[in-house]
Chains A and B, each alone.
Chain A
Amino acid sequence: MLTTLSQPSGTHFHWLFDGGIVGFYLLVTMAAGIAMRRYVGKLEDYLVAGREMNLHLGIASLAATEFGIITCMYTAQAGYTQGFSGAIPGICQAVAMALIGWTGFCIKPLRQAGAMTLPEMFETRFGRKVRWLSGMVIVMGGLLNMGVFLQIGGKFLCTVAGFDLSNLTLIMTALLLMVVIYTVLGGMLSVLVTDFLQFVVMSAGLLVVSVLILKNIGWDTLVETVRKHHGEGGFSPLANPSLGWAFLANQFIANAAAALTWQAVIVRILSAKDSDTSQRIYTRTSFFFVCRFLLPGIWGIAALATLGWAPLKQLTQEERLAIPVMVQEKIAASPVGAPMIQLTAEETSALALETQAKLSDASLLAMPEFLSSFLPIGLMGLLIAAMLAADMSTNSSYMLSWGSVIYNDILAPFRRTAWSDQRAILWNRCIVALIGLYLLIFGLFYHIEGNVWSYLLLTGSIYLSSMSVLLIACCYWKRANNWGAIGAILLGAAVPVAHLTLEKLPATAAFAASVGKDLAGIAAFVGAALGMVVGSLVKPHPKSS
């Protein structure tokens, strides 16, 4: 009886030992986060920590923010479905971060401008309307991107701890409440201090689990698994027909754009005490982005080595019996990560929606399923504490980042007079709380179709292309003006939206597939750059007095 109470079925999670580790971590984090409230005196303290952040705290904070459960899940999914080639985006991101940090490209003038958000900097060159419009684009892309974080985090925790997925709502709500409380009270100061604690716990968990996998499963087994399921394409993206040069180019451009304009990342530049510190944060954190993709990717490969590719195992006995035998055989023989790719449109539509959702999740949930039985008692607690740390640091920072753009840029036209710091902080607290509520509602009702990383890139590309072009033009092109900025925003958003529409229409779906997501992503950047150049050159020059 005691065993059934203390250990959920099919997992090594133990309520007393593992639950104790998780409880202790949560207690310390919450206490530290709430204690920061008394240091918040001015709006600048709340949004950019009074611009007092030093180098090592910046490294810990950037690393903790950019690694959430969602990151762990999609990078493990990439390892599971693409082998080692799935870690290529991490290498692209590391190279982009190192180059930007080393040269100071855009981030040096951005920090020296002293703005609190990207649109605030745009106002100096492009005017108020562009500031408001770019704020809208940033918040829309950012909130759509972040909307799936909570749901994915809840699924991971349920799967690893062996809870039934019917507890997902409860876990999502509890996770969100804890983060909202300290973020609302302490703003960026709470985010930085809890990020530091979360970086330490998260890193310990990541390292211990990775070493344990290499020790118990072995490098040779991982390599053989990749070779068996993915062939040479599992080691080289150029040998993988679904990746190739367009994939590499798109990954490098998109990741460089994210390093320049993703509000949750650049808030570290804006919070740094000077531009030199902000550059060093980038160069010294750059290799973390390789670890961020490669280590969980190895967890995904280990899941493939241990569990194999068996999407039908996700279904209950009744759900499986409802599928015709021939369709079951097609699903069982499908390539890793694409369970329904061999089915005809009629066969797919005959499957229940719940069945389709479970089959789609097979590659996403493989890693937590593997870990739930791989890790011993005690280490399971460390893993859950590490993943809670990763998720809380990401959610808190993202809520504050998008909230700061809503307050600073979207609501700017409605503030006729200067607001007191107290009133401004109160508004920011309300905005962060409302974003938390949005996250809960979005997480409860939205279900991702297909690859999570593709969803994140698509929602991000709506804003990455135009905002990066605006920032580069703002910093380095004297002829850039508001006509060019609006042209870049419109064309940058039009390309991904057009590609998405072509994908959904039966008549044009084949054409959209032949173009591919990667070429569409590159086209968005080319379109935004064209919009900026043509718009700026077309605008008549004001006659000099």
Chain B
Amino acid sequence: MITFWLVLTLAALFWYGSVTLYVSVKGAADIREMLARLRNRDRKG
């Protein structure tokens, strides 16, 4: 059971670190895209 918790802890640190880096880059692009779509919609409206 101790091995299970050790593996899970290391997996959590690795996964969380990777996702944070990936989402930091991709999420910023998502925000720019979302705001651009809202701006375009308002112009058309």
Binding site for B on A (CB under 8 A): 39, 41, 45, 49-50, 52-57, 59-60, 84, 87, 189, 192-193, 196, 199-200, 203-204, 206-207, 210-211, 214, 219, 223, 232, 235-236, 287-288, 290-291, 294-295, 298
Contact = CB atoms under 8 A, between A and B. Distances in A.
Interface in B1-44: 1-2, 5-6, 8-9, 12-13, 15-17, 19-20, 22-24, 26-31, 33-35, 37-39, 41-42
Given A39-B38, A54-B34, A232-B1, 16 more contacts: A39-B35, A50-B34, A52-B34, A56-B23, A56-B30, A199-B27, A204-B20, A207-B13, A214-B9, A219-B9, A287-B12, A288-B16, A290-B8, A291-B15, A291-B16, A295-B16
A117 B19 CA distance: 29
B5 A235 contact: yes
Contact of B26 (A41, A56, A206): A56
Main secondary structure, interface of B, reads helix
A218 B24 CA distance: 30
Interface residues of B, number: 31
Contact of A50 (B9, B15, B23, B38): B38
Main secondary structure, interface of A, reads helix
Contacts of A52: 34, 37-38
Contacts of B35: 39
B23 A59 contact: yes
A109 B30 CA distance: 24
B24 to A, nearest CB: 5
Given A56-B30, A60-B23, A207 B16 contact: yes
Contacts of A232: 1
Given A60-B23, A203-B20, A53 B8 contact: no
Given A59-B27, A235-B1, A298 B9 contact: yes
Given A203-B20, A235-B2, A54 B12 contact: no
A200 B38 contact: no
A288 B34 contact: no
B31 A57 contact: yes
Contact of A294 (B2, B9, B34): B9
B31 A193 contact: yes
Nearest to A200: B24
Contact of A60 (B12, B16, B27): B27
B41 A288 contact: no
Contacts of A199: 20, 23, 27
For the complex of A and B, 6 pairs with smallest distance between CB atoms: A56-B26, A57-B30, A203-B20, A54-B30, A235-B1, A56-B27
A425 to B, nearest CB: 15
B16 A192 contact: no
B13 A55 contact: no
Contact of A57 (B15, B34, B38, B42): B34
Nearest to A54: B30
Contacts of A204: 20
A52 B35 CA distance: 9
Tell which of B5, B15, B42 has the most Cβ of chain A within 10 Å: B5
Contacts of A54: 30, 33-34
Given A39-B35, A207-B20, A50 B5 contact: no
B2 A223 contact: yes
Contacts of A219: 6, 9
Contacts of A214: 9
